[in-house]
Structure 1
Amino acid sequence: MIDPPAPAQAKPQIQPLTPLARGTLYTTVALLLLALCFGGWGLWKVFGNADADQPTPAQLQAQQRKIDQLEQRAATLARSDQISRDANGDLQSTLAERDEEIAGLRADVAFYERFVGATAQRRGLTVHELQLQPSSDLTWHFVATLTQNLNRGAVNAGRLQVSVEGTHAGKLQRLAWADLRQQPNAPGVEYSFKYFQQVEGDLMLPADFKPSRVAVRLVPQSGSPLEQSFSWADSLAGAPAAPAP
């Protein structure tokens, strides 16, 4: 017995898109393509122009040369400013030295005029000034300025001696020239001048000796000796001598 043939299966029917669905599909595809285009353009802007924004080796060298020039100019200006400061400091120091020299010269001129000027008061041999400066704890250096204008053109010569009065161990004591020089029969310092001369020497004081006055004794080759006294404090300040008695 022959089986009857199976009935044929019906093929699925594809429904045509409605105009609305078709428009929506086209719009979606268009938007997708547009998005892909914008995405590709953005990637190209980011990565495609990256190399274009980088400076070339020539540009880098030009920039480095400009930086080097600016640094060199800054260093030159700094050196010029320092040189100007140093020069200004040297100038100020030089001006101060010149002012000091001028003041000293004016004092010297006034000093000379007092003794050799036409209106200068006539005075014989005298100690115009005595200065004391410490050389060590017990040693002192003295500078005595001797003057005379009574006998113009005449040479005054002789020897100078110094003595110091003070206290030692609570007692008054006078140290003679030999004591101060620590040499028995020590000769005085020689002097010889017409108008003025500075005579220098050194003194040695005993330990714990407290000086109060210092006396300068002049022994000329002709004439009587004379002595002038100074306070120790005035001698440290370089004050003029008190008039001889």
Structure 2
Amino acid sequence: MASRPPPRFVVRPHDAGGLRRRALWLGAGWLLSLVLTGLVVGGLVRHATPAATEKRQLDALAKDNDDLRQQVANLQRATQVGDIATRSLRQTLAEREEEISGLRADLGFYSRLTGGDAQREGLKVQEVRVQPVASSHAWNLTLSLTQNARRGEDVDGTATVSVEGLRGEKVVKLDWPALGDAAQSSGIPFRFKYFQQLHATIVLPADFRPTRLLIHAQPSGDEAVSRAVAWNDAVSGHLTPTQGEQDAQP
């Protein structure tokens, strides 16, 4: 029996449900694309509005402001540290200057005492210092007198002090009798071979502003020695070896 050839056409039943499902999927996809497109467009529109632009600008300005505040704070701290370091350095320099001044005074004193300065032999007013007495117009006075050791003999005499200053608008000079103790009206006595410190208390008028001290040391049988010292230098004790002095030569 001869075989039958396959048929040229195949008849299949029509699937209406599959077509509907495909159409529904296509419709859902199209709607979803529309929604996504609307969201994207809406976001772009919102970012492009003036309010959004101003907000971004404000945010940027706020950030810049915070950065500037931090920089100012850093600079202020750096300035404070620099000020503290400067004050410390100035204080150290002042202390060193005071120390050097004291060492120079000591050097001059011992050089004078041992005869290291042959051109200035004889009596000398080495140091002048005044210190205030609390709750009064009185001042404690200290005078240091020296003599070159080469002389090898005692020197004696008296020392007096005058004070120049302002009283109102006038320059006034207060001599020793108006300043010193009545018991030492003729002066402060001294007698020494090498050096001696003299002490006294002077009283200044309440309306008197001192500017300068005039020291006068009169040794027995020899020429007097005078020295002028600024009041502020006498208060601080910083005196230079040649500041206003006129020492008698031997």
User: Partners of 1:162 and 1:225 in 2: how far apart?
Assistant: 13
Structure 1 residue matching 2:161: 3-state secondary structure: strand
Q: CA deviation at 1:151?
A: 4.5
Percent of aligned pairs sharing the same letter: 30
Change (3 A) 1:153 1:140: same
Letter in 2 for 1:115: R
User: Partners of 2:149 and 2:113 in 1: how far apart?
Assistant: 10
Structure 2, unmatched stretches of 5+, are: 1-99
Indicate conservation of the 8 Å contact 1:189/1:199, yes or no.
yes
Q: CA deviation at 1:225?
A: 1.9
Q: 1:115 aligns with which of 112, 115, 123?
A: 112
Q: CA deviation at 1:222?
A: 1.1
Look up the match of 1:177: 176
Q: How does 1:12-161 map to 2 (within 5 A)?
A: 110=107, 113-117=110-114, 119-121=116-118, 122-136=120-134, 137-149=136-148, 151-161=150-160
Summarize deviations over 1:61-108 as a string: whole Å, max 9, x none.
xxxxxxxxxxxxxxxxxxxxxxxxxxxxxxxxxxxxxxxxxx9xx889
Change (3 A) 1:151 1:209: same
Indicate conservation of the 8 Å contact 1:178/1:186, yes or no.
yes
State TM-score, norm by structure 2.
0.50
State TM-score, norm by structure 1.
0.51
Query: Which sits farther off after the overlay, 163-172 or 234-243?
Result: 234-243
User: Partners of 1:168 and 1:176 in 2: how far apart?
Assistant: 14
Q: CA deviation at 1:185?
A: 8.3
User: Partners of 1:162 and 1:118 in 2: how far apart?
Assistant: 27
Look up the match of 1:188: 187
Structure 1, unmatched stretches of 5+, are: 1-102
Structure 2 residue matching 1:154: 3-state secondary structure: coil
Structure 1 residue matching 2:179: 3-state secondary structure: helix
Indicate conservation of the 8 Å contact 1:141/1:203, yes or no.
yes
- Structure 1 segments of 4+ aligned residues over 3 angstroms from their partners: 106-113, 116-122, 182-185
Q: How does 1:230-245 map to 2 (within 5 A)?
A: 230-240=229-239, 242-245=243-246
Q: CA RMSD in A?
A: 2.8
Change (3 A) 1:129 1:109: closer
Change (3 A) 1:125 1:170: same
User: Partners of 1:209 and 1:118 in 2: how far apart?
Assistant: 40
Look up the match of 1:34: none
User: Partners of 1:184 and 1:192 in 2: how far apart?
Assistant: 18
Indicate conservation of the 8 Å contact 2:229/2:244, yes or no.
no
Summarize deviations over 1:122-174 as a string: whole Å, max 9, x none.
52211011010001331000111111106521111000100000011221100
